[in-house]
Structure 1
């Protein structure tokens, strides 16, 4: 894993260090490796994309809830924009693959969430409503951070993304250096909210971060195995 192209403040480093093993596991997951190689089964990717579209709705909900708890109008607006980005910018990626793989908004809305997806969503919403601000942002941060880190890592590994790569759009989106400013913004807020919290809240935020990193790995896994409810 290469060094990030954005500043990582001290509290973010503390969170990342606590989740080091779980974080690294995503980089070695067979779903991620097959996606990078272009050998990932299209049906697995379709399953993942549809589940991810529903996950992003919850991410937007969590970001919107966090915005209502911010005192600063600048912070409020940033989290509102983060919610919008999840639905609009990443939604465009989903729409493009939906045309290729045969799904649309109706199919996404009717789909049953996997156990892993539902649990991850509940974790984020719980942190956004019941935790302190630093806990809420701690739970939210691994999703964008891990995807951007993966995208930039995979681009470095591949060297270039060929136009005929089946997942070129996904790889190009998450390796885009334009996301570096987004990471500076969210990690800076995580640091400010950590500075304003007590140590007990900071430790809960670290654990919320670690839990989200675990769910990120589980998200690859649920798509890899086409997870279903056991009963």
Structure 2
């Protein structure tokens, strides 16, 4: 029988394709994405990573397999320290000051996704939590590698793409290994779970994939709170 992760991916195949075809990622691949949209995305992602890191830390403390503890603890550090360094390099490159960053309000999609992961961390078990965390690894790697594939097929090296550093980060071998490690942890959790737990794991995996799509869509639309004028 196929492992949980393979089944979950097949269950979301239409959604994964929609992520690849979203205008944000299409324009990112071409290098034509507007600076304003990318800056908005970076501001949201920097805030999301704090919540993501906290949820990863919870997964580390709950892991029944000691071998998975250093992975989730290390991933929490990567989310808060290493990836934020990537963001800060882009802030400098695209002229986004701290004042400019602070002026970008946290979007509804960003707040919803972050709050969702933290809620799962507080109210669900380890299997459900790792299933909810997996899409942030897997979907990003899927997007990065798909863009590199497009470049290879077109003969475009991506050298002139202002977003190439972002693409390379999520398409490289080190990140691919992190994806495989997370998938293995999720598969192990599913293998010893009962049917009801596996159903909840799948529901959380799907919802997190939906939030991934919504996150990019939010950035492309420069999503604002619809109630801003009522404040």
Which of the residues 148, 153, 164 maps onto 1:168? 164
Which of the residues 210, 214, 219 maps onto 2:210? 214
Q: TM-score, normalised by structure 1?
A: 0.91
Count of residues in correspondence between the two structures: 223
- In structure 2, stretches of 5+ residues that fail to align are none
The reply to whether residue 22 of structure 1 matches residue 47 of structure 2 is no
Which of the residues 65, 68, 72 maps onto 1:75? 68
Check whether the contact 2:136–2:212 (CA below 8 A) recurs between aligned residues. Answer: yes
Tell me the equivalent position of 1:150. 143
- Equivalent residue runs for 1:15-54 within 5 Å: 15-54=8-47
Check whether the contact 1:128–1:137 (CA below 8 A) recurs between aligned residues. Answer: no
Q: Distance in 2 between matches of 1:100 and 1:218?
A: 26
Q: Distance in 2 between matches of 1:119 and 1:31?
A: 20
Check whether the contact 1:35–1:167 (CA below 8 A) recurs between aligned residues. Answer: yes
**How far off its partner does 1:172 sit?**
1.2
Tell me the equivalent position of 1:138. 131
Tell me the equivalent position of 1:194. 190
Cα distance change of structure 1 residues 193 and 31 upon mapping to structure 2, 3 Å threshold: same
- In structure 1, stretches of 5+ residues that fail to align are 1-8
The reply to whether residue 177 of structure 1 matches residue 170 of structure 2 is no
Tell me the equivalent position of 1:85. 78
Which of the residues 47, 54, 57 maps onto 2:50? 57
Check whether the contact 1:161–1:168 (CA below 8 A) recurs between aligned residues. Answer: no
Cα distance change of structure 1 residues 110 and 199 upon mapping to structure 2, 3 Å threshold: farther
**How far off its partner does 1:163 sit?**
2.7
Cα distance change of structure 1 residues 146 and 201 upon mapping to structure 2, 3 Å threshold: same
Q: Distance in 2 between matches of 1:119 and 1:225?
A: 16
SS of structure 2 residue aligned to 1:46: helix
